[in-house]
Amino acid sequence: MSKKSSHKINSESDCPCQSGLLFSHCCQRFLDSSSGLYPETAEQLMRSRYSAYVLDDLDYILKTWHPDHQPDRLVPNDSGDHWIGLKIKSTQLGQKKDSTGKVHFIARYKINGKAHKLEENSLFARINGHWLYIKEDIK
């Protein structure tokens, strides 16, 4: 599964999504397609997508993006973007039995030593039993 050796994250690392769990107990289970496991809540999917951005796992990012809303292409993270943190502000619905959910989060990243933040209220839908990212929910 891992194609890159440049990332220092392994199963014993803290999960990049900052859940406080080990990577192996958190997002790794979902990023590893051979596990057969899928996020059960919109928040878990949101976290695993963040971890996929950290690890530059573009396949996972596309796989968990609703086909009608996917970008034409995703560029590998070669520009020096460096994700440094994720904070979930709030969630609405998005539990096991829901069909939609929203996750409001702040992700931080650094470019050339300068910190930036991305704040988004994301919309998710559960389709055929699997959570997918739809798009930013703009009011």
Mark residues 13-52: x for contact with Zn ion by CB under 5 A, - for none: --x-x-x------xx-------------------x-----
CB of 53 to Zn ion, least distance (A): 12
* Under 8 Å between Cβ of 56 and 4: yes
CB of 74 to Zn ion, least distance (A): 20
19 or 91: whose CB is closer to Zn ion? 19
H/E element, 101: strand 100-111
Which residues, 6 or more positions from 29, have their beta carbon under 8 angstroms from its beta carbon? Answer: 35, 37
Sequence-ordered alpha helix ranges (H) in the chain: 28-31, 42-55, 58-63
Among positions 75-114, residues that touch Zn ion (CB under 5 A) are: none
Binding interface with Zn ion (CB under 5 A)? 15, 17, 19, 26-27, 47
